[in-house]
Chain A
Amino acid sequence: QSVLTQPPSVSGAPGQRVTISCTGSSSNIGAGYDVHWYKQLPGTAPKVLICGNDNRPSGVPDRVSGSKSATSASLAITGLQAEDEADYYCQSYDSSLSLWVFGGGTKLTVL
């Protein structure tokens, strides 16, 4: 069971907006540690999508955004496209367990 909880799956039609939640606790997100998001296509390594809660690395489209509040974080993707279909993971640090932690992952399906 992951320290950071994500929904196993979300889906949306092309052009729609979807959000993926990442729920933590007072020892990770709630303690102020940054949340990062990764996108993983089948058979490939994860790639960072959002860093430092809400920053997009160069090359990530602005229809992707991140936010953080209290003990949770969210990834939002607007104008859904077929290429967005992938697994998404949140990541932070947990001071109680003394380790970097990942969420269990969310599979995004574009209908």
Chain B
Amino acid sequence: QLQLQESGPGLVKPSETLSLTCTVSDGSISSSTNYWGWIRQPPGEGLEWIVTLHYTGTTYYNPSLKSRVTISADTSKSQFSLKLTSVTAADTAVYYCARQSGPPTIAARHWYFDLWGRGTLVTVSS
């Protein structure tokens, strides 16, 4: 069964760049009917969508984070990656990668996150 796994440093210094990779096992990210995204959850708080990518390059960003976020995909490795620049303590969170799916007959705006990685805690601290 397809699984997602986040990887990357658990500690990042303020003003530096947070870099995470999501590896999709037993599956491919080159599916026309799936999007791939990142969601984060600060400790004790709710969920915040960050960015979504389709393997063709179509990308959707959370406007409040767009200036600091980069997402990319490596279809040969079934991986997609997140970079968040100029981090502060407010970026401390559990970061999840997730697959976004839905009926191909309706717009992706209606889709949901049907498969999630286990999440990785990233702490921003000096």
Residues of A within 8 A of B (CB): 2, 33-34, 36, 38, 44-48, 51-52, 57, 89, 91, 93, 95, 97-105
Identify the B interface with A (CB < 8 A).
Answer: 37, 46-49, 52, 60, 62-63, 96, 102-103, 106, 109-110, 112-114, 116-119
What's the Cα separation between A71 and B97 when bound, in Å? 29
Q: Are B109 and A93 in contact, with the CB atoms below 8 A?
A: yes
A34: which B residues are within 8 A, CB to CB?
102, 106, 110, 112
Contacts of B119 in A (CB 8 A): 45
Kindly identify which residue among B47, B48, B114 contacts A48, using a CB–CB cutoff of 8 Å.
Answer: B114
Q: Which 5 A-B pairs have the closest CB atoms?
A: A36-B112, A45-B116, A102-B47, A34-B110, A93-B109
Bound complex: CA A95 to CA B37 (Å) = 18
Determine the chain B residues whose CB is within 8 A of the CB of A100 once the complex forms.
Answer: 37, 49, 52, 109
Q: Which residues of A contact B47 (CB under 8 A)?
A: 38, 46, 89, 91, 102, 105
Instruction: Tell me which residues across on chain B come within 8 A of A101, comparing CB atoms.
Output: 49
B113's partner among A44, A52, A91, A105 (CB-CB below 8 A) is A91
Could you tell me the distance in whole angstroms from the C-beta of A57 to the nearest C-beta in chain B? 7
**Does A51 contact B112, Cβ atoms closer than 8 Å?**
yes
Question: Closest CB of chain A to B7's CB: distance in Å?
Answer: 15
| 8 Å CB contact of B118 from A2, A36, A45, A98 | A45
Complex alpha-carbon distance, A93 and B69, angstroms = 20
